[in-house]
Amino acid sequence: PFNTLPITFHIKKGLDDPEYQRFKSMYDSLPQDKTNIWILKPGECTNCGIGISVSKDFQEISSLIEESTASRRKTCIV
C-alpha cells in the first residue's frame, strides 16, 4: 500500500463539482472508523505551504471546500 500514489481530487466548482461527488463516493466507500486523514490545500500556488488543512471529518472537509471555492476563482485539492 505504501508504493501507490494517494488519490487526489481537484475541486473547482464547490459542492456541485463532479470531482466533489467523486471524493464523496470515495469517502463513503472507506471504513468509517476515522482512520483516514484527508489533506486539503489550495489548487493555486500549491508549493507555498499556505492554506493547508488536515481533517478526518466529512462535514469539516465539505465546509473547507465550500469556503475555498465560494468565489469560483480558487480551487481546492483533496
**What is the per-residue pLDDT for 1?**
53
Query: What does the DSSP 8-state code read for residue 45?
Result: S
Is residue 50 pLDDT above 80, yes or no? no
Give the residue-averaged pLDDT of 44-55.
Answer: 76
* Helices 18-29, 58-69: inter-axial angle, 10-degree rounding: 170
Where does the pLDDT of residue 43 fall: very low under 50, low under 70, confident under 90, or very high at 90 and above? Answer: confident
More confident position, 31 or 21: 21
The predicted model scores a pTM of: 0.78
Where does the pLDDT of residue 18 fall: very low under 50, low under 70, confident under 90, or very high at 90 and above? Answer: very high
Amino acid at 32: Q
Where does the pLDDT of residue 22 fall: very low under 50, low under 70, confident under 90, or very high at 90 and above? Answer: very high
Amino acid at 55: S
